[in-house]
A and B are shown apart, each in its own frame.
Chain A
Amino acid sequence: MTEAQVIRRVVKPVVWVAGLTPLAWQVWAFLTGHLEAEPVKGMEHFTGRTALVILFITLAVTPLRRVTRRNSLIKLRRLIGLFAFFYALVHFSIFLVFDLELSFGDLAMEVVKRPYITVGFAVLLMLTTLAVTSPQFMVRKLGKRWQKLHRLIYFAAAGGVVHFLWAQKKDIRLPLVYAAVLLVLLGVRLFPARRALPRPITSSQ
């Protein structure tokens, strides 16, 4: 198999399975009563952290490409990024259904009144924009602007960490770990690649 074939036939299916595993675990825990005594809070925290971790993995693709010199890794980036969006959407949906009971009036009020929800909602809108503009034809349509637009991921990731940090009552150790990971992922981008890589062709095939 060529490298492209390996990616398509082996790596991508693995990414799909890995990406759906957290969801499967939550659904199982929900159905069998294995969630904590505050099940909704448990699901919100779990899906939120999962979204952030996957967002970090998305951000790790480019540095990893440089280190491994395997340019083909880029073909995984869109799929991974879409999983991050998916978990952010599930996270938000749980909040909307179980905390706000589908009241969009309450949602508007929360977004306006509570800074950490304002930030979280902004992140969701950014990730939605990125997801909507991720298909091939959008990439082609937007041309050079696509690259610029997709720098939104940096702001989404930073906003996600702020949202996480801000939601804590007192113990901020875990969000600080996330912040540190994000700083590393953003920091490595400040160092240009030793040898210029060909501009990533964002097509998946």
Chain B
Amino acid sequence: MLINRPPDIKSSEITDETLYWSRREWLASVGLGVVGSLALPKWLRAEQQQLKPDSWEIITSYNNFYEFGTGKDDPKANAHTLRPKPWSIAVEGDVKKPATYSFDDLFKGMKPEERIYRHRCVEAWSFVAPWLGYPLRDVIKRLEPGTKAKYVEFVTLLDPVQMPGQRRGVLDWPYVEGLRMDEAMHPLTLLTVGIYGKPLPNQNGAPVRLTVPWKYGFKSGKSIVKIRFVEKQPMNTWQLAAPTEYGFYANVNPNVDHPRWSQAKERPLGQLFKKPTLMFNGYGDQVASLYAGMDLRINF
């Protein structure tokens, strides 16, 4: 009944070497010596060794990025119009250092870390990616938010010329996402700038995106241009689009179904059969305490 396709492992093993070298070149070019993964807590290092990243091809050719079209292959085909360089990020709200920072200034003196995370889409597919990013908490600490900063809102680029998908009103543009301050300050949360040690390709949210590995992918906004520290819970784009189907928290949860499909299982990209989805996408030991006492059926 089932005919085996050639295993995908080989191609990624072949590309590993070239990626390794291109990573070193890139890191050298931005003045970085070592990827700071030695600073990782023990559990995360152990976890990372177990996960096998999917190939560059898989991670960069099957994307939800409606700014470039609603098809999964649209972003790769259309995102060449995005100009991720130069890039600036405005910091607003209750924060000591509000300003518009250039990409380089925002991360000045910081070392990006490689983090191999599971990525689970709300549509029940998944992959494993070796992200390269800066812990968001380190960036936030430098910006010094005030006491009214209970949430962090992330606004992504609004520019129908660079993002032709925005000419259609399929979503309310610009794409907005938000995190509670403790979620934003969690050591797992990244401002991601690369994959496989290379700068993010446009279709994955160049030049900087969020990575929140215990939440569904749509929480991880791409091509971020504004970070706001706010008191009230922000309204995120998908919640605005379909409030019964997408909430603010969007934690990966196999026990709470999407109204139209089950979240109990997921299909790793490139594979035929599904596998069980893990609570908080496998990061429960680290993040479950953030939601202690909350009804996750209500706060989906």
Contacts and interface: CB of A to CB of B under 8 A. Distances in A.
Interface of A: 30-31, 33, 36-41, 97-99, 101, 110, 113-116, 166-167, 169-171
**B interface SS class:** loop
Contact of A97 (B1, B61, B242, B267): B1
Interface in B32-64: 58, 61-62
A170 B241 contact: yes
Nearest to B63: A37
Nearest to B4: A31
Nearest to A94: B272
B6 A169 contact: no
A32 to B, nearest CB: 8
B55 to A, nearest CB: 10
Contact of A39 (B70, B170, B241, B270): B270
A31 B2 CA distance: 10
A17 B231 CA distance: 64
A40 B266 CA distance: 12
Contacts of B62: 36-38
Nearest to B265: A99
Contacts of A30: 3, 5
A164 B54 CA distance: 31
Interface of B: 1, 3, 5-6, 58, 61-62, 66, 70, 72-73, 123, 125, 170-171, 241-242, 257, 260-262, 267, 269-274
Given A30-B3, A114-B261, A166-B260, A40 B267 contact: yes
19 contacts: A36-B72, A36-B73, A37-B61, A37-B62, A37-B270, A38-B62, A38-B72, A40-B267, A41-B125, A98-B272, A98-B273, A98-B274, A99-B274, A101-B274, A115-B260, A166-B260, A169-B123, A171-B66, A171-B70
Contacts of A38: 62, 72, 125, 267, 269
A167 B270 CA distance: 21
A33 B6 contact: yes
Given A38-B125, A98-B273, A116-B260, A170 B3 contact: no
Contacts of B61: 37
Contacts of B171: 170
A35 B92 CA distance: 45
Contact of A33 (B5, B72, B257): B5
Contacts of B123: 169
Contacts of B257: 113
Contact of B272 (A36, A39, A166, A167): A39
A114 B248 CA distance: 23
Contacts of A114: 260-261
Most chain A CB neighbours (cut-off 10 Å) among B1, B73, B241, B273: B273
A37 B269 contact: yes
Most chain A CB neighbours (cut-off 10 Å) among B125, B241, B261: B261
A26 B198 CA distance: 35
Contacts of A169: 123
Nearest to A43: B272
Contacts of B260: 114-116, 166-167
A110 B260 CA distance: 10
Most chain B CB neighbours (cut-off 10 Å) among A33, A97, A171: A171
Nearest to B57: A37
Nearest to B61: A37
Contacts of B170: 170-171
A30 B4 CA distance: 9
Nearest to A115: B260
Nearest to A100: B274
Given A37-B58, A38-B62, A170 B70 contact: yes
